[in-house]
Amino acid sequence: MLTQVEVVKDRQRLCAIRPAWDSLWRQSGASVFQSHRWITAWSNECSDALRLACAWRGDELVAVLPLCIRSWHGLRVLEWAAQSFSDYCDAMVPDGWQPIELLWDAVTRIGGFDLVRLKHIRPDAAVQPLLQGVGIEERVETCLQVACQWPSGEAWFRNLNKKTRNNYTRGKRILGESGPIVFRQLADDEPREPVIQRLLALKRHWVENRDAPLVRSDTTLLSLTEALHQMGSLRIFVIECAGTIIAGSINAIHRDRMLALFATYDAAYERASPGILLMTDYTIWGFDHGITEIDYLLGAEPYKFRYANREVKLHIFIAGKTLRGRLALAAYQRLRRYSQPTIPSVTIGSAYLTEKGTPRKPPKKAKASAAA
């Protein structure tokens, strides 16, 4: 049967193809960022023009290239659907399905964009071969993970070096001076909106975070979080001091991986490093509950490098498609030559190294649980 290509451009049609999309999503092994609920939650919050290229064989959806056109400083930019909120972007194709060019050609024939800028592409992404010929690689970004090599969360904690473990104990002691300390996961039936609004307020306290896509809006994080809840993927972890949330992390579990999507803490407790304490606690929780990888996602913050033992390089491809787009791209490239980002001088996995810089051997006998 011949493959028919459809470009979905309206939200009503997107809703109608949900059963077929869900079936393909499960078969393809795509991430939560390509799920129908995630894309729909994003589309309900934005005004971007949908360009979701879908390949059909009869009633079976066999591939999706989820794109959109966003207005950016007067330019029409072709990018991934929900790109600003998705750390891993890709097409959804089954194993062995090669002609992804059919989907790309269908979108480009419609046109309507000046610039192509496709971000957050893993080296093993299905779309990689296509993009090698579409445009130039603009730059590479880093995602950091902790791949589980220990039998439990306690064993992972005991393998951290003495300084890291002492900092954890010290932080808990400092917090304890302000009142009872509780680390917990929100229950499924617990109201989420007050917690999410509290985390947004804490995040906005930090000036450098106020322009982040999830922080600018009052409703986008709520919508995406609800999508994760409906998928059964949502996990929200908090630290409370005297009954008040002072740190929180919104995570997603997909298969046996945990994605740390959104985290923040109360600046009033900065001396105790509550964000690091929370990250330590949910990592212990994850490894105790069958998680094989904690993914800190995009961002080169030093604390991620310390705990991570693996990294993935993500690619960005960019190309000008109209004269206006090519001129904008040339100006952007000239500007980038004078504003290269600073790479943090932090050793990946430094939390597992001794003061001499050698890998630390875990103690023969585990002490009392760090999560107790």
- Name the residue type at position 79: E
Specify whether the CB–CB gap between 339 and 249 falls below 8 A: no
Q: What's the pLDDT score for residue 355?
A: 66
Domains belonging to the chain, first-starting first, are 4-140+313-336 (3.40.630.30), 149-291+344-352 (3.40.630.30)
pLDDT in tens, 322-346: 999 999 888 877 776 655 555 555 6
Q: What is the mean pLDDT of the chain?
A: 89
- Name the residue type at position 357: G
pLDDT at 46 over 60: yes
Specify whether the CB–CB gap between 40 and 30 falls below 8 A: no
pLDDT at 292 over 90: yes
Region 304-313 average pLDDT: 92
pLDDT band with cut points at 50, 70 and 90 for residue 98: low
| Tokens, residue 194 | 């007050």
Q: Give dist(CA 156, CA 183) in Å, integer.
A: 18
| pLDDT above 70: percentage of residues in the chain | 90
pLDDT in tens, 202-236: 999 988 888 888 898 889 999 999 999 999 999 99
pLDDT band with cut points at 50, 70 and 90 for residue 100: confident
Q: Give dist(CA 295, CA 304) in Å, integer.
A: 10
- Name the residue type at position 221: L
Q: What's the pLDDT score for residue 367?
A: 42
Region 80-104 average pLDDT: 86
- Name the residue type at position 92: M
Region 182-192 average pLDDT: 95
Region 12-20 average pLDDT: 97
pLDDT at 7 over 80: yes
Residue 364: Cβ within 10 Å count: 6
pLDDT at 193 over 70: yes
Q: What's the pLDDT score for residue 369?
A: 38
Q: What's the pLDDT score for residue 368?
A: 39
pLDDT band with cut points at 50, 70 and 90 for residue 302: confident
Region 108-119 average pLDDT: 94
Q: Give dist(CA 66, CA 118) in Å, integer.
A: 11
Q: Give dist(CA 178, CA 280) in Å, integer.
A: 20
Q: What's the pLDDT score for residue 191?
A: 95
Q: What's the pLDDT score for residue 365?
A: 45
Q: What's the pLDDT score for residue 370?
A: 40
* Low-confidence winner among 93-102, 170-179, 226-235 (lowest mean pLDDT): 93-102
Q: What's the pLDDT score for residue 364?
A: 53
Q: Give dist(CA 313, CA 121) in Å, integer.
A: 8
Q: What is the pTM of this model?
A: 0.89
